[in-house]
Every structure is written in structure tokens, then in C-alpha cells.
Amino acid sequence: MTDETPRLGFCCKFIPDEAPDRHGTQKAAKEAALAMNVTSVTIAHLRRLDQAAARAKLGAVVGHNLAALRRQVAWVAARPPLERLLRLASSILPGYTHPEVRDLYADADFRRAIEAGLGAVGEAARAGGVRLSMHPGPFCILASRNPAALANGIAELEYHAEIMAMMGYGSGWHPHGAHVNIHVGARDPGIAGFRETLPRVSEAARNLVTVENDEGSFGIDDVLTLADRVPVVLDLHHHWIHSGGEYIEPEDPRIARIRESWRGVRPVSHISVSREEFLPGHDPDRRPDFAALRASGLTGRDLAGHSDLMWNRAVNALVARHLAWSDFEIEAKLKNLASTGIARQIGGPVPALAAE
């Protein structure tokens, strides 16, 4: 991805911008949310159905999900260029890696419909300049001493890579900036275990995978030791927690190493801020002080939670400076409402990064 246009966007779920009222807006908002978001079905539910009913149920859910993805991508493509980034939900194909559902997905007609639907999503994203990503759940790890957990983690990563391939992102190094982001995994075996497991992953998945720092076991300095193998995603909020309050500036030497890890592709970073309920009355033009907040009695867990909106203008200004080198996924709980909010504040041209 050579396009250096800065982008930010939301993660997985679309929230309609309508407040409930007595004129039926609440019902309309629920209907809009249903139309715009993927849904799922449990293995337990499918297990209670006969083969034909299970196939029909799964087909209906997947059909809905493909339509919802097309609507999400169309909505993002219609936003200003700054907002054309979208993290897709993982549950597009429910139970895809589960042995009891595998035969249903093996049906040739069903497979063709899925490939056509996902292909259309990918085409729409590329035509609309929308950068796509996925972020498997916490059990998708490449470092574990548990063989079953490791096998499940690899299978889950391969599933996400297959989704990306069906959308047209299955060849080359992070085509069009697409990526599948994961965490390192268990503290033991940690970084060494990640390195050992990575070659067991298909080339297509290796060409899509990225790894981010977390707030507990693996800080940015730890994750940067993997920069020779995979691109590093900087999560600014995780780093703030892990470091005890440091805000990384764009001029920090580690930023250059993160950029290098992407090998010519524009990086992606993550941002969120502590929940509003724990910082009532906090000056939005002053960045939260971790040490002072801990001294006031707040725990690290309190501060680690994601806020509803990007309420802190000083943190948002930091994001604006980092946009000179990285795109951003906004991880606030109110999703697109948060990402459009920070986009309105940032607005205008993004400042250029100083020459190295």
C-alpha cells in the first residue's frame, strides 16, 4: 500500500446516530443496527436442527452478514477520505473452523455464494478507498504451551486469512494495507514461542498478520523484537497503561522501527482513552496523568477500559500528529460515533512528519 492518505475508522460494529424518542426512532435505530451489523448462530443451536434446517439457518445468517458488510463498506466509502478505514467483525462465517459445521460450508453452491459475496465486499472497499482489517479474539494466539490452544489459534488465524483472500487480499505483502492483527499470546513461551510457531502458518496468513503491544505481558519494546518478522501495531492506550503513563510522540525512535516493520506499507495503530465514568470532570484539553489517577485510587483495570467516545481533545491532538505516519483504528465503545467525532476535531490537513 503506497497510498499515504491518512485514515482513521471504527471497529466491527455500526451504531446508528439516532436517539430514542416517542416517534419510533428507537425502533428505526434497532432496524438500522440489525441491517448494518453481522450476527451469528451458535453451534449448540445448529446441533439441535436436522441437516436441512441447519443448512438453511446458517445460509440465512451468512447471507445477512454479507449484505451487512456491503452496507458497512458503502457507508465508510461515502465518508470523507480521512474516515475510510474499517475493521471487519470476525463472525462473518459462524463456526467456520468447527468440525460439526465444516460439511455445511463444504457445499459447493454455498461456497460459491460466499466467495461471490466476499469478493463483492472487497471490490467495493478497493473502489471506495476503504482500508480493511480484522482482529481475531484473544484465543487466536501463536504462543502457547497448550497444543490444543495453539492448534485452535492457528486455525483461527487461517480462517481470517481465508476471509481476506476471498475478498481479494490473498496475495502479496499486506495488499492494499489489509491485515489481520493479533496479540503475542501466553507469557510463557512468549516472544520465542511466537517466533517458533509463525512458520507453521500459511504464507498467505503470514503476509497478513500483524502483532500489537498489550497492557500486561508484552509492551511495545517486547513486540518490537518481532519487527523483523511481522509488522508491529502500536496501541497508544495499551502503552500508556503498560508504561505507567508514557505518551509516545511521533519523534520517538521506536516509531521509525515500527514504520520499518511494515516494509513499505503504511502502518496502522490503535487508540482509545480511559472511560468517562472514571474521570468525571477531567479537563478534556489535558491528557490524563496516569500516576495522579492511580494515586487517586483508580486501578490499572479501571484505567484500561475503553471510553464510549474520544472525549479527550489533548489525546486526539496526539493522534493527529501520529497520523503523519500511521492510520488509526478507534477502539472506543461507541464505534463509528467515536471515530466520526475525533475526525471532526482533527479535520484539516495532517501535519507532515519531520525528516528522519
Q: For residue 307, is it within any domain?
A: no
The pLDDT score that the predictor gives to residue 24 is 60
- Residue 33 has phi, psi (to 5 degrees) of -65, -40
DSSP assignments along 280-291, one per residue? TT--TTS---HH
pLDDT digits over 319-354, tens only?
A: 999 999 999 999 999 999 999 999 999 986 555 654
Cα–Cα distance for residue pair 336/15, rounded to 1 Å: 6
Q: For residue 9, is it within any domain?
A: no
What's the total number of domains in the chain? 1
Q: For residue 285, is it within any domain?
A: no
Q: What is the CATH number of the domain that holds 237?
A: 3.20.20.150
Alpha helices in 128-174 (DSSP H): 147-166
Strands (E), the chain: 8-11, 85-88, 131-134, 179-182, 209-212, 232-235, 268-271, 327-330
Contact 330, 310 (CB under 8 A): yes
Cα–Cα distance for residue pair 332/309, rounded to 1 Å: 6
Q: Ramachandran region of residue 222, left (φ > 0), alpha (ψ -120 to 50) or beta? A: alpha
Q: For residue 132, is it within any domain?
A: yes
Q: For residue 289, is it within any domain?
A: no
Among 296, 307, 295, residue whose Cα is nearest residue 271: 307
Residue ranges making up the domain that contains 116: 25-267
Contact 331, 271 (CB under 8 A): yes
Positions in the chain short of pLDDT 70: 1-2, 18-24, 348-356
The pLDDT score that the predictor gives to residue 352 is 62
Helix/strand/coil for 212? strand
Cα–Cα distance for residue pair 313/102, rounded to 1 Å: 48
Q: For residue 15, is it within any domain?
A: no
Q: What is the CA radius of gyration of the chain?
A: 21
Cα–Cα distance for residue pair 301/281, rounded to 1 Å: 20
Specify burial of residue 235 (Cβ count, 10 A radius: 0-12, 13-18, 19+): buried
Q: For residue 337, is it within any domain?
A: no
The pLDDT score that the predictor gives to residue 4 is 86
Q: For residue 229, is it within any domain?
A: yes
Residue with cell 496516569: 290
Q: Which three three-digit cell numbers place residue 74?
A: 458503502
Contact 197, 213 (CB under 8 A): no
